[in-house]
Chains A and B, each alone.
Chain A
Amino acid sequence: MTLLTALARLLIFPGLLFAVPAAWFFLWVERKSVALMQGRVGPPFMQPFWDFVKLLGKSTPPRTGIAGLIMRAWPLIAVSSAAGAVGLLPVLPASGGFEGDLILLLALLELPSICIIAAGFSSRSIFGEIGSAREAALSVSYNIVFLLAIVSIAASQHTFRLEALAAAPNTPLHWLGVVAILVCLPAKLHINPFSLPNAEQEIYAGPMTEYAGPELAMWELSHGLEWVAGTGLVATLAAPHLGSVWIAALLFIALSIIAVLLLSTLAAATARLAIDSSVRFYWQCTLIFAILAVSSAILVRFRS
């Protein structure tokens, strides 16, 4: 990957120029589809954009010293890492990439939730600390399954290069991995039934309780970008390999929207689980399948 293509991917498609409007669009699709399923009309099309602009114009509480500086830094780190994760997705065929970019993508996908945990603790609000502790417990449980699913896909193809994985023939093992990633996404995106960390009204706003104005706008944006990155990862792994650039881009957007609709249906249909039930779900119910997927991927690899 040359510097020019890397910049184009990071800044234009599927990077910032595409990802920021897409983040607002996905947030709207989620809110609107949940509203329609509840028999409401739901927010207008531009709602996430208006929310973002309004938050930029609000004031923030005075934050002094190093602690204040650190508190201001977390949302920026979260936004930039989520945007970087979107930029790494191998959406277009033959778009470059490098050996090991899967590992970088996983790290960038994980960074926003680490930022949320750190932000909750550095805000020194008791509700923020409870939210962060829940986020940490949840992250330890779903990440095992998430990582094992991706490792099983990578092991079956014997590569850590995203483009090779996206272009790989679709075996049953590949689909098992995609389904496992889909199962982990509700916890990664904090939607029902795993909306524990920011459980509204229950612990005020969780880790975000003390954030306001432009900082909160950045958190909203990073949440939207996480939607784009998470559903985009599923879309690139599920999409068939195509030669044409335009069709590949359109297919990526269509598959992402389908994934968003699937996740919002789940969010509208379920209620919030308690932390022990959520952790038990990932450790007891899904971990066994993830281990099976990895071991069969390694076995397939040795036999061929």
Chain B
Amino acid sequence: MKPLQRLMCAARRRSPWLFHMNSGSCNGCDIEIVAALSPRYDAEQLGVRLEGSPRHADILCVTGPVTRKAVGAVKTVYDQVLGPKAVIAIGSCPATTNVFIDSRTLDGPLDKHLPVDVFVPGCPPRPDAIIAGVAKAAEILAERGNKSSEPIVTLVAESNEGAQQ
């Protein structure tokens, strides 16, 4: 790899900026994303920043089971995030639609509409699992480079240490 490419890979791994999108979530996972940035978990150590605009973000964090009303918004926001980009499905809802399965108001799960790279299951997932998912997504971003290839599906299991705290 050329030195410039290596520098770019390192930069992508070290500076994941997130955009948080709620597609009909119960707010449980959204609170956990905010908790991941709080003093106790402090995701900023990894260079994580929660951005206000999807244009600035590298990683799209989607929570919620994707309601029929939210499908258009999810697709629009995904297109507004500029490449190279990754998508994290946070919580069990975007992965499987969870307890809302077979509901007529849903059009989920998320990977029906977007290429999802990392799944962080849990109802809600712990903040440390979310941080692990973001770190994984940042590595995927660095690996993928400028080519937009197939999603590299990863599952972040909840750590036992976190559960015992």
Contact = CB atoms under 8 A, between A and B. Distances in A.
Interface stretch (A41-49, A101-109, A179-187, A222-230): A41-49
Interface stretch (A148-156, A204-212, A244-252): A204-212
A50 interface: yes
B69 interface: no
B128 to A, nearest CB: 15
B84 interface: yes
A51 B42 contact: no
A23 B79 CA distance: 32
A205 B56 contact: yes
Given A44-B14, A211-B55, A216-B56, A59 B8 contact: no
Interface residues of A toward B: which range? 35 or more
B14 A50 contact: yes
B115 interface: no
A20 interface: no
B52 interface: yes
B15 A39 contact: no
A209 B52 contact: yes
A200 interface: yes
A206 to B, nearest CB: 8
A59 B83 contact: yes
Contact of A38 (B39, B47, B84): B39
B114 interface: no
B53 A51 contact: no
Nearest to A203: B52
B45 interface: yes
B42 A35 contact: yes
A61 interface: yes
A190 B84 CA distance: 29
A53 to B, nearest CB: 4
A57 interface: yes
B14 A47 contact: yes
A213 interface: yes
B38 to A, nearest CB: 8
A87 to B, nearest CB: 27
Contacts of B8: 53-54, 57
A40 interface: yes
**Interface core residue of B17, B49, B55, B82 (most chain A CB under 10 Å):** B55
Contacts of B51: 200, 205
A2 interface: no
Enumerate the 3 nearest inter-chain pairs by beta-carbon distance, A residue then B residue, closest first.
Answer: A53-B11, A205-B53, A54-B11
Interface of A: 31, 35, 38-44, 46-47, 50-51, 53-54, 57-61, 127, 198, 200-201, 203-206, 208-213, 216
